[in-house]
């Protein structure tokens, strides 16, 4: 039983040590890609969401509208974006 307890403590310490080394996320501005035209329901939902996330995470969130081709233009811009 003691061996099991030691193993559990070792695993908890190993997992906890990794979380201390992580930096805050996100570290740079976040772009929310809206694949629909400005002024639509998706845009009216994305902008308050971005504002709430800015307050919560203390990082800038930008809503970028990329309408066209039934959402394919926005999806393509996300697919080729740098992580």
For the stretch 40-66, pLDDT in tens is: 999 999 999 999 999 998 889 999 999
Helix, coil or strand: residue 5? helix
**pLDDT over threshold 80, residue 2:** no
- Specify the CATH superfamily of domain 24-83: Bordetella uptake gene, domain 1 (3.40.190.150)
pTM, 2 dp: 0.64
| Nearest by Cα to 43 from 28, 17, 64, 74 | 64
Q: What is the mean pLDDT of residues 26-41?
A: 88
Instruction: Tell me the DSSP string of 16-71.
Output: HHHHHSPPPS--S-EEEEE-S-TTSHHHHHHHHHHHHHHHHH-S-EEEEE---GGG
Q: What is the mean pLDDT of residues 10-37?
A: 75
């Amino acid at each position: 039983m003691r061996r099991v307890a030691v193993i559990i403590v070792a695993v908890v310490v190993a997992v906890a040590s990794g979380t201390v080394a992580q930096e805050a996320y996100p570290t740079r501005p976040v772009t929310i890609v809206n694949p629909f035209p400005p002024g639509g329901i998706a845009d009216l939902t994305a902008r308050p969401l971005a504002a709430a996330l800015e307050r919560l995470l203390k990082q800038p969130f930008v809503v970028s509208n990329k309408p066209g081709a039934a959402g394919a233009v926005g999806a393509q811009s996300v697919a080729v974006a740098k992580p």
